[in-house]
């Protein structure tokens, strides 16, 4: 272990280790800082890309929001700029509070105003409709459609949106129907009912009783309408019977406080007196079926539903409170809040984007010229490359033209030598008149060497003079004359014949002899 003195001497006199340590530390620090810088640059790139994507998404969200609100403003031609700003803020607040996306709120707002809901209390109406939609498990637009149909038929002085919603919910609770089905089917009966003075509670009580017995909502509304028509049609059998029983018309009866159940009880008495069915008291099947579903043994249930309609206040809020809780509701509100936040970001970016967009529109001719110029440059480059390839192709064709004769000659040489299989050849046997197939053999062991002599009967590539001077003599010539010798002199001639050649030559000789003598000298194929 080093002492303090040794350390002092080392530090004062020999600081190489110290400097080395400092250098190593500095190197590691620089490396670390470089890595940190890389990570920072990568992080900045990711953040930048995310920011660009968010800006684009925000602008798109705001564009849709702006377009939707402009459609609403077409229904309010006299609306001021301040009122527009206030309405837009109300849409955002509504979306945040109820967890309804602006893309669903704005169409419902348009529908409500289009249906005649006053601008001053349209958001109060939307609140009722949203509670009805939430409690009735349907869409906001559907609830708006159903409720506006009712209050437009009866008038807001007779029935409020909240009352209409409560009665519809009570019908859903007591019958076998849905808020959605009621909204889509009530139009078939409420115009007639409201015109006659039949309370909406009577209508919903009757629909609850009829659907509870299995009649589909759309069918029940049609049957109930026909019942009201026949009870009120002057001169009709049902209307005449009712008037004789009550002393007044059906319309006067209900306007003076009578209800549908009481009217049907009077018709039941008349049917019993005539000893006929309730269905026989009406001229149509639809009206007769409605009367049967609401009278006789079913009368008690109908009267009970009428009492429920009298206690319907708060039904919408009760259903809403039951449905407006849990994780799904929280997620809906978060989603709506995020959507509103993006709309507001897009709203702030919109002026800058509009200036840029206007600049692009104004300078579009120059931009088009630039783009065309770039593509023209690319076209020139492509043309140059194509010209090079055309020239290369021409050069290759020229080389092929030059080499073609040499290649052909080489192929002929190979075929002649028998170095490779070149395909079968068919030759005509002149004597027998038949064709034979000849396949040139492939030489083995290289070229033939004929230093010891031999007989060649077909074109053959062979070596000549490999063992010294040689003479090549055709067999059909006078050998002695070629050699320049006298006939009387003896000549030593060595003939080397391979077995195949000998067999082939002798076989052909024997075949000719056989034909001449008529006997077989050689038996073989």
Q: What DSSP letter does each residue of 268-305 carry, written as one string?
A: HHHHHHHT--GGGGSSSHHHHHHHHHHSGGGHHHHHHH
Q: What angle do CA 183, 188, 191 make, to 5 degrees?
A: 100
What is the pLDDT at residue 24? 64
Token duo for residue 331: 């997620």
Query: Would 399 be classed as within a structural domain?
Result: no
Residue 20 pLDDT more than 90? Answer: no
Residue 307 pLDDT more than 70? Answer: yes
Token duo for residue 44: 């900045």
Secondary-structure percent of the chain, ordered helix, strand, coil, rounded to 5: 70, 0, 25
User: Burial, 422: exposed, middle or buried (Cβ in 10 Å; 0-12, 13-18, 19+)?
Assistant: middle
The share of the chain scoring above pLDDT 90, in percent, equals 54
Q: Over range 318-341, report the average pLDDT.
A: 92
Q: Over range 131-155, report the average pLDDT.
A: 94
Query: Would 433 be classed as within a structural domain?
Result: no
Residue 4 pLDDT more than 60? Answer: no
The region of weakest confidence among 95-109, 195-209, 383-397 is: 383-397
Which residues make Cβ contacts (< 8 Å) with residue 76, sequence separation at least 6? Answer: 83, 113, 119
Q: Which of the listed ranges 400-404, 449-453, 512-516 does the model predict with the highest average pLDDT?
A: 400-404
Query: Would 248 be classed as within a structural domain?
Result: yes
434-451 burial string, b = 16+ CB within 10 Å, else e?
eeeeeebeeeeeeeeebe
Q: CB atoms < 10 A from the CB of 177, how many?
A: 25
Query: Would 320 be classed as within a structural domain?
Result: yes
Output 127 or 417, whichever has higher pLDDT.
127
Q: Over range 237-251, report the average pLDDT.
A: 96
Query: Would 221 be classed as within a structural domain?
Result: yes
What is the residue range of 129's domain? 115-324
> Of 512, 515, 508, whose CA–CA distance to 457 is shortest?
508
CB 122 within 8 A of CB 156: no
On whether the pTM is more than 0.75, the answer is no
Query: Would 119 be classed as within a structural domain?
Result: yes
Output 441 or 234, whichever has higher pLDDT.
234
Residue 323 pLDDT more than 50? Answer: yes
The region of weakest confidence among 146-160, 163-177, 472-486, 499-513 is: 472-486
The region of weakest confidence among 53-57, 129-133, 245-249, 432-436 is: 432-436
Token duo for residue 52: 């660009």
d(C-alpha 481, C-alpha 493), whole Å: 15
C-alpha 280: how far from its chain's center? 58
The radius of gyration computed from the CA coordinates of the chain, to the nearest angstrom, equals 56
d(C-alpha 520, C-alpha 511), whole Å: 8
What is the pLDDT at residue 488? 54
d(C-alpha 387, C-alpha 384), whole Å: 5
Residue 511 pLDDT more than 80? Answer: no
Residue 502 pLDDT more than 90? Answer: no
C-alpha 212: how far from its chain's center? 43
Output 39 or 109, whichever has higher pLDDT.
109
Residue 373 pLDDT more than 70? Answer: yes
Residue 110 pLDDT more than 90? Answer: yes
Quickly state the pLDDT bin for 13 (edges 50, 70, 90): very low
Q: What angle do CA 349, 353, 356 make, to 5 degrees?
A: 150
For the chain, what is the domain count? 1
Give 448's strand partners.
462
d(C-alpha 100, C-alpha 115), whole Å: 21
What is the pLDDT at residue 397? 74
The region of weakest confidence among 3-12, 105-114, 117-126, 163-172 is: 3-12
Query: Would 143 be classed as within a structural domain?
Result: yes
Q: Over range 227-248, report the average pLDDT.
A: 95
Residue 302 pLDDT more than 90? Answer: yes
Output 171 or 404, whichever has higher pLDDT.
171
Query: Would 406 be classed as within a structural domain?
Result: no
CB 436 within 8 A of CB 429: yes
Q: Over range 283-293, report the average pLDDT.
A: 96
Output 193 or 473, whichever has higher pLDDT.
193
What is the pLDDT at residue 226? 98
| HSE toward the beta carbon, residue 100, CA cutoff 13 A | 28
Q: What is the pLDDT of residues 47-97, one digit of tens each?
A: 667 777 888 888 899 999 999 999 999 999 999 999 999 999 999 999 999
Residue 422 pLDDT more than 50? Answer: no
Torsion of CA 173, 178, 179, 180, to 10 degrees: 180
Q: CB atoms < 10 A from the CB of 108, how many?
A: 25
d(C-alpha 421, C-alpha 416), whole Å: 11
What is the pLDDT at residue 391? 73
d(C-alpha 22, C-alpha 31), whole Å: 14
> Of 116, 89, 119, 91, whose CA–CA distance to 103 is shortest?
91
Average pLDDT score, the chain:
81
User: Burial, 514: exposed, middle or buried (Cβ in 10 Å; 0-12, 13-18, 19+)?
Assistant: middle
Q: CB atoms < 10 A from the CB of 243, how many?
A: 17
């Amino acid at each position: 272990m080093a002492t303090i003195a040794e350390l002092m001497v080392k530090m004062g006199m020999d600081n190489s280790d110290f400097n080395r340590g400092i250098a190593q530390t500095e190197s590691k620090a620089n490396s670390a800082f470089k890595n940190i810088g890389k990570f920072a640059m990568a992080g900045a790139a990711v953040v930048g890309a995310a920011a660009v994507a968010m800006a684009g998404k925000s602008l798109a969200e705001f564009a849709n929001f702006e377009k939707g609100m402009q459609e609403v403003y077409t229904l309010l031609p006299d609306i001021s700029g301040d009122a527009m700003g206030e309405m837009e803020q109300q849409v955002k607040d509504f979306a945040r509070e109820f967890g309804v996306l602006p893309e669903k709120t704005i169409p419902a707002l348009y529908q409500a105003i289009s249906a005649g809901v006053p601008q001053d209390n349209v958001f109060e109406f939307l609140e009722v409709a949203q509670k009805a939609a939430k409690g009735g498990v349907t869409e906001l637009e559907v609830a708006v459609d159903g409720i506006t149909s009712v209050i437009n038929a009866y008038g807001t002085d007779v029935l409020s949106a909240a009352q209409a919603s409560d009665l519809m919910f009570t019908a859903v609770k007591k019958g076998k129907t849905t808020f959605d089905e009621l909204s889509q089917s009530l139009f078939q009966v409420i115009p007639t009912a409201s015109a006659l003075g039949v309370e909406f509670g009577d209508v919903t009580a009757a629909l609850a009783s009829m659907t509870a017995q299995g009649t589909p909502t759309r069918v029940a509304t049609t049957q109930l309408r026909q019942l009201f028509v026949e009870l009120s049609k002057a001169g009709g059998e049902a209307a005449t019977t009712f008037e004789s029983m009550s002393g007044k018309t059906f319309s006067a009866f209900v306007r003076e406080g009578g209800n549908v159940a009481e009217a049907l009880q009077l018709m039941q008495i008349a049917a019993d007196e005539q000893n006929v069915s309730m269905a026989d008291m009406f001229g149509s099947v639809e009206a007769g079926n409605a009367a049967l579903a609401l009278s006789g043994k079913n009368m008690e249930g109908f009267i009970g539903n009428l009492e429920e309609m009298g206690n319907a206040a708060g039904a919408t809020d009760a259903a809403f409170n039951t449905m407006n809780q849990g994780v799904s509701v929280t997620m809906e509100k978060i989603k709506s809040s995020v959507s509103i936040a993006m709309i507001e970001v897009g709203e702030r970016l919109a002026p800058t984007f509009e200036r840029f967009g206007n600049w692009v529109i104004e300078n579009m001719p120059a931009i088009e010229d630039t783009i065309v110029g770039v593509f023209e440059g690319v076209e020139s480059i492509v043309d140059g490359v194509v010209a090079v390839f055309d020239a290369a192709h021409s050069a290759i064709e020229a080389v092929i033209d030059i080499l073609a004769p040499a290649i052909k000659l080489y192929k002929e040489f190979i075929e002649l030598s028998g170095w490779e299989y070149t395909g079968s050849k068919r030759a005509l046997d002149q004597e027998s008149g038949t064709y034979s197939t000849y396949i040139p053999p492939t030489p083995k062991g290289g070229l033939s060497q004929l230093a010891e002599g031999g007989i060649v009967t077909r074109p053959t590539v062979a070596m000549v003079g490999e063992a010294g001077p040689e003479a090549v003599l055709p067999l059909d010539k006078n050998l002695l004359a070629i050699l320049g010798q006298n006939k009387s002199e003896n000549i030593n001639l060595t003939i080397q014949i391979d077995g195949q050649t000998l067999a082939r030559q002798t076989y052909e000789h024997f075949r000719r002899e056989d034909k001449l003598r008529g006997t077989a000298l050689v038996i073989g194929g």
